[in-house]
Amino acid sequence: MMQQDTILLSHGSGGSLMHRLIDEVFVTGFGAAGTPALDDAASLDVAGGRVAMSTDTYVVSPLFFPGGDIGRLAVCGTVNDVATSGARPLYLSVGFVLEEGLPIEDLKRVLVSMRDAAEEAGVRIVTGDTKVVERGHGDGMYINTTGLGVLAEGVDLSGSHCRPGDVVLLSGTLGDHGITVVSTREGLEFSTDLRSDAAPLNHMVAVTLDAAPDARCFRDPTRGGLASTLNELASASGVSITVDELAVPVHDQVRGACEMLGYDVFQVANEGKMVTVVPADQAEAALSAMRSAPYGEEAAIIGEVGESPAGKAYVRTSFGATRIMDMLVGEQLPRIC
């Protein structure tokens, strides 16, 4: 049970404390019936068909960073969450909380970035809201986005669908977003340029699902990184997942930054990567489709699903040993998305 009496930064990390907060406070508080799926998007039956819906709030600091800003992050993040259900994202709502004193030019830059990201994803921003809070109470700008998409008949993706023998794919390099944001925030300088990977991945999901129609699930490894994502999938499906460390693509500068800062690259946030689990006989087709899509050129097969120990994720190291892939416990990188 929850032992804290107050909210900690760690409750927003994407790690084990956040999951306990969701399970023991939110799910209980809302009186959810049965066992909620807790996927990135909810699949809903409506008159005439099925839709997927997801919402997220973005509090990243700083507002602008190499490769993106809070606006691009908000659009891409929600588009990707809707896409993980296999839906075609169509519409977004946008809510702004603006701090008194925010430069209007900064707001205009963010709006242009959101417009461009929405056009790239093929979605429309159709409604929104704006609130202003006193100086010192909003850290510039917070953005909430809600996305809505349509689900084709027969599409049923969930983190609870993984089966022993399945194969795990990753669409590209780990850690680019998290290390870019923390280096910008802290004024760290590296010998090579680091850029956030924030990108809309709905087109990639669509072509991958076409190539691997029996795909079990998609998941974008944002807060808590790949470690949280794979532990979530293993727990939801009652399986084990083992990743080959040498198969996971990581840029050298990101690996070096993680070593310098003491971070586990598997726990660092990403905003333009996608994990998918597919049957073994569809893995090569899924990989080829990912690599053919924008932002998927460095996609790789990184692991496999096993039967036991159920609910656990593991890393097969470069030395041939196997270790537990721990889910993030504390707060590694606050205000990362």
**pLDDT of 285 higher than 70:** yes
* pLDDT at residue 16 greater than cutoff 80: no
DSSP 90-131: EEEEEEEEEETT--HHHHHHHHHHHHHHHHHHT-EEEEEEEE
Q: What is the rounded distance in angstroms from the CA atom of residue 92 to the CA atom of residue 72?
A: 13
Comparing 116-120, 201-205, 298-302, 324-328, the range with the smallest average pLDDT is 324-328
Cα–Cα distance, 77 to 220 (Å, whole number): 9
Q: How far apart are CA 158 and CA 170, in angstroms?
A: 17
State the pLDDT at residue 87: 98
| Cα separation, 242 vs 228, whole angstroms | 13
Q: What pLDDT was estimated at residue 73?
A: 98
The model's confidence at residue 35, banded by pLDDT at 50, 70 and 90, is low
Which residue ranges form the domains of the chain, and what is each CATH number? 41-151 (3.30.1330.10), 167-324 (3.90.650.10)
- pTM score, two decimals? 0.92
Q: Whole-angstrom distance between the N-terminal and C-terminal Cα of the chain?
A: 27
Lowest average pLDDT, out of 98-107, 192-201, 284-293, goes to 192-201
Mean of per-residue pLDDT scores for the chain: 93
Higher per-residue confidence, 22 vs 271: 271
Question: Confidence class of residue 93 from pLDDT cuts 50, 70 and 90?
Answer: very high
Q: Residue 11 carries which side chain, given as an amino acid letter? A: H
Q: Identify the pLDDT of residue 192.
A: 67
**HSE (side-chain half, CA atoms, 13 Å) at 118:** 22
Residue in 323, 319, 317 with CA at minimum distance from that of residue 248: 317
User: How many C-alpha atoms does 305 have within 13 Å on its Cβ side?
Assistant: 30
pLDDT average, residue stretch 19-34: 76
Compute the average pLDDT of residues 222-226: 94
Q: What confidence category does residue 331 fall into, taking pLDDT thresholds of 50, 70 and 90?
A: low
pLDDT of residue 8: 80
Q: How far apart are CA 80 and CA 203, in angstroms?
A: 10
Q: Is the pLDDT of residue 1 over 60?
A: no
Partnered with residue 300 across adjacent β-strands are 170
Give me the pLDDT at residue 156, please: 95
